[in-house]
Amino acid sequence: MAKNTFSVLFVCLGNICRSPAADGVMRTLVAEAGWSKRIEIDSAGTAGWHSGKLPDPRMRAAGKQRGHTLDHCARQICADDLERFDLILAMDRENLRDIEALDRQRQHRSKIRLFCDFCTEHAMYEVPDPYYGGPEDFEKVLDLMEDGCAGILRHAQSL
């Protein structure tokens, strides 16, 4: 990766709802800002149950209604991701602990953070998992994604 780029990895449990939503929203915002060649975006799950699958159809439909394409195929986070990405964002504290467990030497702690650290319009500490919820839960997640991803873009542009 070139030095003039910034890379971000979004992480949730299964990589089919929250983190691919962040991936898709971030891609939309980055493209609109003309920064597609300067920001690398990916997502992963702490568990590999859904590896190779598209995001949950309910999340894809909700994202599409807002103009976001959610087409990332699920994958599991690996230790190499800690080296590769400049910022690794966990959707909740359990995901954060799982990511930190991959960092046995504690070399990457400064770049492992909670996604909601970048939200400015919502006072949430974690992104709730919408998987067992209704349509309103998927909408709430997208509200958080649009807020936090805007903050992440501002952060990347300030570097």
DSSP annotation of 113? E
Distance CA 44, CA 16 (A): 9
Comparing C-alpha atoms, which of 48, 68, 52, 118 is closest to residue 88? 118
Distance CA 157, CA 113 (A): 18
Distance CA 18, CA 76 (A): 14
Q: Which residues carry out catalysis? A: 12, 18, 129
